[in-house]
Structure 1
Amino acid sequence: MRILQALPALHSGGVERGTVEFSAELIRQGHESFVVSNGGPLAEQIRGQGSTHIHMPIHRKSPASFGQILPMRRLLLDLKPDIVHVRSRMPAWIVYLALRSIAPAERPGIVSTFHGMYSVNPYSAIMTRADHIIAVSNCVREYVLEHFRVPENRLTVIQRGVDLAAFHNRNLNTQWLQQLLSRFPQLEDKRIIMMPGRISRWKGQLDFLAMMQRLVQDRPDCHGIIVGGAEPGKERFLEELERERSRLGLTDKITFLGQRNDMHNLYLLADVVCHMSTKPEPFGRTVTEALASGTPVVAYERGGAAETLQACFQEGLVRPDDHHEFAIRVSELLSRPRRDIKIPERFQLDAQVGATLAIYRNILDRKLSE
């Protein structure tokens, strides 16, 4: 099959990284893979894996983006993809409007993925106009069914999958560790508590600072690391986090590592990984990756992250927004020996890819029979 994925950009984040991994799997299985976006650091990785990246500014939530309708129409007529998989609302609108002037017999199948609980309005409803809709977790599925008029037979839950081979049964690279400690000597001989995720208020970095203040009172051997970059427009929040770190007296207890491309090793370095989103997150990619690495995870009991922990590591769940209980749970896990953590098949990349390809084939089979 010839597959075109459309998303706003290729910076950091679970949607973007998932697109990269899925593209690689498409190539590995003999399909043709194309990605259209406004580009970003991950675009080069897309190209390096054998996919084609097409740069198109389809990322802005503004009327100016509708200037991309004709370029998108030309792209669709030129590529003739079998399936277009839209992963965000503005790209979905541009694809939808571009298809209106293409003869129905020449149109590709359309799949959309609800990667989040989008606001309930006509702008978001464009995601329901696909031939089939994917929800990334059960909580997203329930949200879509409750707020959008979608027949259940057009909606499938496909959990975001992790490539277990990339995380499981790995050893920490000693040369990498030496290089890290030479740059961040404050991490040496410490119990590392990691907070991964892009710098954004709802991701919960402020909660992490409050929790760490409680934790280090009883566990001075702990050091927190916040791993993730500040995307354009989020720089002020990073400055706010740095001020709050200072106000709480945590300057020597928490280190900002910024955007990293060595997450595999960081998961192994960490003694506990924290997920503290302040609102229900559709899925917790870092949760599954950390667990696949064998690292315990503590998370608020809500959203997609809770679904993962309920299936893989129930002792990591705490009441939402309870910093005190969170700190206690982290401390408890630090005192226990690590146990093997089983990742159910539905959270593995092979299962995600297989289920998605099955949806593509069903759409194409229906189009052939029409």
Structure 2
Amino acid sequence: MKVLQVLPALDSGGVERGTLEIAEALVQAGHESWVVSAGGRLVSQLEAAGSRHVHWDLGRKSPKSLLQVRPFRRWLSQNEFDIVHARSRMPAWITLMALKRLAPGQAPHLVTTVHGLHSVNRYSAVMTRGERIIAVSETCRRYILDNYPSARAEHIRLIHRGIDPSQFPRDFQPSTEWQANWQQEYPQLQGKFIVTLPGRLTRLKGHREWLQAIARLSQRMPDLAGLIVGGDAPGKADYAAEVRQQIKDNGLENIVTMTGHRTDMREIYAASNVIISLSTKPESFGRTVLEPLAMGVPVVGYARGGVAEILQALYPAGAVEPGDLEGIVDAILGVYNGQHTDVKPNDVFLLEKMQAETLKVYQELVAP
């Protein structure tokens, strides 16, 4: 097969990571893998793994982007792809319009992936226009069926996102060098029970509720340390200032540490006692929930969206009714007191399974 994936850019994020993972699977299986994007720091990694990248900015949310339709149609016609896989809304619109005027035997099959629970409107509806629609969780599948009646259930394929067990191995221990550097950088964390909230400083991640939980726990856990891992989000400086002010107002300066952006999340998961997920809205999946659980680290979070699916499969004791902050506190105390520490092995959300099932979707269309 000759497969093209289309997305806005290749900088960072779950969509980008999934694109690289499928590109790698295509190459390893002997297929031809192409990606169109506006570029980014992951392009070199994509090309090193055997895919071709074409620099084309189809993700800009502007009416001017529609000027790309005709040249993109001409390019698609010249390259004779079997599959075009659209992973984002604006590139999906340009792709859909480009395919419309190609001759039936000349047009590649269109696959779309619903990665997120977007606002329900005509703009978002394009992600349900593929001949096959991939939903990254049962939450996503239900979102499609509930909000887009024109999407046919038999065309939707539920393919959970997955991780490579070798990247997040069970009972992983950081290197001696990493531990020494960590101790030197954050000596205040040594010997503490570390409760970690990963995620950039955006309101969606629930930092302020987490700080309320930390304030309550500090009265009952003398060795408590709270850890916020994530940098300031672009355009969210006011929220970041709110978080820092709340730390000060609650007298948590000696308990809460903010690391900023880090690239060593696996090691930080291993150094933590509990990971927290308090997203204020349902998420389509929840990679920062799955990764530590795969390593055997307990995760406590609000049971909604994709996070609920992961917790139910791997660590039901960590699932708390959304909004029940006291339930979050109790679940953390349970781990602190040695209860509910057993996390099930991850045999559900696996990268290899996700790759194989995605290639199977392509093959359904190319060779039914």
**How high is the TM-score relative to the length of structure 1?**
0.91
How far did 1:231 drift? 4.1
Map of 1:180 onto structure 2: 182
Residues 291, 67 of structure 1: alpha-carbon distance in 2 compared, 3 angstrom cutoff: same
> Does the residue aligned with 1:350 lie in a helix, a strand or coil?
helix
> Does the residue aligned with 1:165 lie in a helix, a strand or coil?
coil
How far did 1:81 drift? 2.7
Q: Match for 1:155: what amino acid?
A: I
User: Aligned partners of 1:245 and 1:71: how far apart in 2?
Assistant: 53
Map of 1:308 onto structure 2: 310
> Does the residue aligned with 1:60 lie in a helix, a strand or coil?
coil
| Residue of structure 1 aligned with 2:247, choices 245, 248, 255 | 245
Map of 1:18 onto structure 2: 18
283-292 vs 56-65, which moves further: 56-65
How far did 1:191 drift? 1.8
Residue 151 in structure 1 maps to residue 152 in structure 2: yes
Residue 100 in structure 1 maps to residue 104 in structure 2: no
Q: Match for 1:256: what amino acid?
A: M
How far did 1:111 drift? 0.8
RMSD of aligned residue pairs (Cα, Å): 2.1
Deviation readout 1:164-184 (Å, 9 max, x if unpaired): 121123322121121222222
Paired residues of 2:4 and 2:35 also in contact (CA < 8 A):
yes
User: Aligned partners of 2:75 and 2:183: how far apart in 1?
Assistant: 48
Q: Match for 1:96: what amino acid?
A: L
> Does the residue aligned with 2:36 lie in a helix, a strand or coil?
strand
> Does the residue aligned with 1:189 lie in a helix, a strand or coil?
coil
Describe how 1:68-79 pairs up with structure 2 within 5 A. 68-79=68-79
Deviation readout 1:293-318 (Å, 9 max, x if unpaired): 11111110111100111111100011
Residues 237, 365 of structure 1: alpha-carbon distance in 2 compared, 3 angstrom cutoff: same
Residue 160 in structure 1 maps to residue 161 in structure 2: yes
User: Aligned partners of 2:357 and 2:108: how far apart in 1?
Assistant: 19
User: Aligned partners of 1:118 and 1:362: how far apart in 2?
Assistant: 27
Residues 291, 48 of structure 1: alpha-carbon distance in 2 compared, 3 angstrom cutoff: same
Residues 250, 31 of structure 1: alpha-carbon distance in 2 compared, 3 angstrom cutoff: farther
How far did 1:218 drift? 1.4
How far did 1:219 drift? 1.5
How far did 1:324 drift? 2.0
Paired residues of 2:26 and 2:359 also in contact (CA < 8 A):
no
Q: Match for 1:89: what amino acid?
A: R
> Does the residue aligned with 1:19 lie in a helix, a strand or coil?
helix
> Does the residue aligned with 1:299 lie in a helix, a strand or coil?
strand
Residues 29, 152 of structure 1: alpha-carbon distance in 2 compared, 3 angstrom cutoff: same
User: Aligned partners of 1:21 and 1:238: how far apart in 2?
Assistant: 33
Q: Match for 1:341: what amino acid?
A: K
> Does the residue aligned with 1:218 lie in a helix, a strand or coil?
coil
Flag structure 1 segments of 5+ consecutive residues without an equivalent.
Answer: none
Residue 121 in structure 1 maps to residue 124 in structure 2: no
User: Aligned partners of 1:234 and 1:54: how far apart in 2?
Assistant: 32
Flag structure 2 segments of 5+ consecutive residues without an equivalent.
Answer: none
User: Aligned partners of 1:159 and 1:272: how far apart in 2?
Assistant: 24
User: Aligned partners of 2:71 and 2:248: how far apart in 1?
Assistant: 49
Deviation readout 1:80-113 (Å, 9 max, x if unpaired): 3322111111110111122234333222111111
User: Aligned partners of 1:289 and 1:31: how far apart in 2?
Assistant: 29
Residues 23, 206 of structure 1: alpha-carbon distance in 2 compared, 3 angstrom cutoff: farther
**May I ask how many residue pairs the two structures share in their alignment?**
365
Describe how 1:333-344 pairs up with structure 2 within 5 A. 333-336=335-338, 338-344=341-347
Deviation readout 1:121-172 (Å, 9 max, x if unpaired): 2111111211100111112111111110211110111111111121123322
Q: Match for 1:343: what amino acid?
A: N
Map of 1:320 onto structure 2: 322
Deviation readout 1:20-72 (Å, 9 max, x if unpaired): 33333333333333322233343343334333333332333222332333453
Describe how 1:1-370 pairs up with structure 2 within 5 A. 1-148=1-148, 149-169=150-170, 170-336=172-338, 338-345=341-348, 347-366=349-368
Paired residues of 2:303 and 2:320 also in contact (CA < 8 A):
yes
Q: Match for 1:123: what amino acid?
A: Y
User: Aligned partners of 1:238 and 1:66: how far apart in 2?
Assistant: 36
How far did 1:186 drift? 2.3
Q: Match for 2:96: what amino acid?
A: Y
Q: Match for 1:245: what amino acid?
A: I
User: Aligned partners of 1:18 and 1:212: how far apart in 2?
Assistant: 34
How far did 1:253 drift? 2.0
